[in-house]
Amino acid sequence: MQVPRRAVLGAAMLAAPAVAHAQAPWPERPMRFVIGGSAGGVSDILVRILENRLREKLGQPLVLDPRPGAGGMVGAEVVARAPGDGYNFYINHIASHGIGPSLYKRLAFDPLKDLPGVARLASMPNVLIVKGDSPHRTVQELVAFCRANPEKAVFSSAGTGTSSHLSGVLFGLRVGVETTHVPYRGTAPSMAAVLNGEVLFAIDNAPASRQQVLAGMLRALAVSTAERASTMPELPSLEEQGVKDFDVASWYGIVAPAATPRPIIERMGKELVEALGDPGLAQRYRDFGAEPKPLGPAEYDAYMRAEAAKWAPIVRASGASVD
């Protein structure tokens, strides 16, 4: 039976809006990138280095939206609850997707499920630092002091649940000293606590303390990765100095709400990975103290799940938890 031409045209007209919507260009407006820390922090800087490249490739600017608090979980929840329309992204890290799933007991969202990976950007070692005029010039000297004076084995962190927090806990576990944790609201005040002698040491992102170390205000004793960092090859690792089974790197990437269309995830992931393949941009990361470690969406998801599994027993052993 031949279908009337009017019916065919009517069906085509009804289908047209859906087809047009499916083929709508992306992005059509600025994209929001939420940062789980303060402006000028590591997450902020890593994205700003890529900002012009993404604007050039995608034709839209990035709007950076700092939402500090709870080891990055405040910002993560903001994006987890945001529309999955391709205009909301989160600069995530080891605290939100590696440590957070085990540390936070009453999260209203699941970081790994509700904020899947778009791309991994970089990793960087943490550095064990003490005050510049400290008598401790090696990790062995610091450990000996902590064992003799356990009440003074106090360390600062950028906040509960951050890699600086769990690095300090892991350090105590590995050397057999019960350390005391003092959380601060960010890396800057944590560094200030070491500078002012309020705490004995900290283990935090290498770039955060670089200028103070160079100026002699802080002393770096070791990097937290199993091997020496390419960005500071002169500094020995904790493992080299007798702290066995210690390999911690802070990593950063981009995630998006789970409802974000897969083609958008793949496109953004592709642009980010290709950007980090640019020698000039990669060198800017290294100059900052971060090693480019690009991974696409699927690979980044697998990496984050492996990290969450790695940190779960360490969180349990530490007794740390956030209700």
pLDDT of residue 17 exceeding 60, the answer is no
Would you list the DSSP string of 51-86? HHHHHHHHSS-EEEEE---GGGHHHHHHHHTS--SS
Angle (nearest 5°) at CA 242 between 166 and 160: 10
How does pLDDT run across 26-71, given as a tens digit for each residue? 999 999 999 988 788 889 999 999 999 999 999 999 999 999 888 7
CATH 3.40.190.10 domain locations along the chain: 125-223
Question: What architecture is the 125-223 domain classified under in CATH?
Answer: 3-Layer(aba) Sandwich (3.40)
How does pLDDT run across 82-123, given as a tens digit for each residue? 999 999 999 999 989 999 999 888 899 999 999 999 999 999
CA distance 287 to 283: 6
Q: Which fold has domain 30-124+250-318?
A: D-Maltodextrin-Binding Protein; domain 2 (3.40.190)
Asked if 293 and 316 touch (Cβ cutoff 8 Å), the reply is no
Distances 93 to 19, 149, 168 between C-alpha atoms, Å: 37, 34, 18
State the amino acid at position 119 in one-letter form.
Answer: A
Asked if 76 and 109 touch (Cβ cutoff 8 Å), the reply is yes
CATH 3.40.190.150 domain locations along the chain: 30-124+250-318
Place of tokens 């938890």: 321
Would you list the DSSP string of 146-215? HHH-GGG-EEEESSTTSHHHHHHHHHHHHHT---EEEE-SSHHHHHHHHHTTSSSEEEEEHHHHHHHHHT
How does pLDDT run across 212-270, given as a tens digit for each residue? 998 999 999 999 998 898 878 899 999 999 999 999 988 999 999 999 999 999 999 99
CA distance 155 to 135: 16
Beta strand 154-157 pairing with 201-205: parallel
